[in-house]
Structure 1
Amino acid sequence: MSGSIQTQHTVFALDCPDAPALAGFYATLLGWEVDRTDPDAEWVDVRPSSGDVGYHIACQQVEHYRAPEWPVGDIAQQAHLDFYVTSIAEAEPCVIAAGGTRHATQPSETGSFVVYLDPVGHPFCLCLVDSGD
């Protein structure tokens, strides 16, 4: 059988030590909403406040969580998120205010993207909408 699946919705799940806290970070950063149907659940969804756009982020609490080490280390990055913005300089204060940090390593030679870490160490990038990197 060949072809592709036709998804109705896509979820990007991030492991973490505290699902509500990480969900709060991404909700604050993106202006989305935390959707927590079960207050004791170890899975918390973060959804766009504009309704279902076909994707959302989920935070999954796991025991013995270890943050990825990027760009080198024993614990590989495994995945990361890219958020496309019209101005990194204008968006960066939102990252910092929400609890994110700018990573010491910045591989973009042109400044068309900047690497950050969420509060539990997942790398993510702010990328310029019209970037060539």
Structure 2
Amino acid sequence: MKLSAITLDCPDPPALAAFYQQATGLETHPKSNADFAGLERPDGILIGFQRVDDHRAPSWPDQTVPQQLHLCFEVEDDLDEAEARLLELGAGKPDHQPHEGRWRVLTDPAGHPFCIVRADRGE
């Protein structure tokens, strides 16, 4: 068995795909449309975004609406620089930051939590 895709529910798949495309530089899947959009990684894994009517954004860290999953991204830059760039692209930053010196918890424009962590360079 091989992982082929990770898909997030959202109200606007093209908009969320555009946010993650700008954040990661991944290529947009050629069959993306208004109901399902995707980004392709070079290793073949697809990050997908599917339209869900009445989508309710996760309420992290509160579990009223559980996050169910979150994505983690390594960044080559300084965490502060990467965070600032993502905030400019439309990410949010929750007040609760459990280990702000080691990683940052942000939310995408649809409210899904994701983390950025500094890439380990063997230092």
TM-score (norm 1): 0.81
- Given candidates 12, 33, 37, the residue that maps to 1:39 is 33
Residues of 1 paired with 2:45 and 2:62: CA distance? 30
Q: Distance in 2 between matches of 1:36 and 1:102?
A: 31
**Preserved CA contact (<8 Å) 2:13 2:36:** yes
Amino acid at match of 2:21: A
- The number of equivalent residue pairs is 120
What residue in structure 2 maps to residue 98 of structure 1? 89
Q: Percent identity?
A: 38
Q: What's 2:17 paired with?
A: 23
* Runs of at least 4 residues off by over 3 Å: none
Superposition deviation, residue 39 in structure 1? 3.5
1:89 corresponds, among 65, 80, 85, to 80
- 1:70 alignment partner in structure 2: 60
Matches of 1:57 and 1:36, distance apart in 2: 13
Deviations 1:101-127 (A, max 9, x none): 122110016x11000000010000011
Unaligned runs of 5+ in 1: none
Structure possessing the higher radius of gyration over alpha carbons: 1
Cα shift at 1:36 = 4.2
CA distance in 1, matches of 2:30, 2:94: 30
Q: Structure 1 residues 11 and 17, CA, compared in 2 at 3 Å: closer, same or farther? A: same
Question: 1:46-83 CA deviation, whole Å, 9 max, x = no partner?
Answer: 124xxx31312100001110001111131111000000
**Root-mean-square deviation over aligned CA pairs:** 1.8
TM-score by length of 2: 0.87
Query: 1:67, 1:53 → 2: CA distance?
Result: 29
**1:34, distance to aligned residue in structure 2 (A):** 1.9
After superposition, give the CA deviation of every residue in 1:78-108 in whole Å (9 maximum; x if it has no partner): 0000001232122112211211012211001
User: What secondary structure is seen at the aligned counterpart in 2 of 1:84?
Assistant: strand
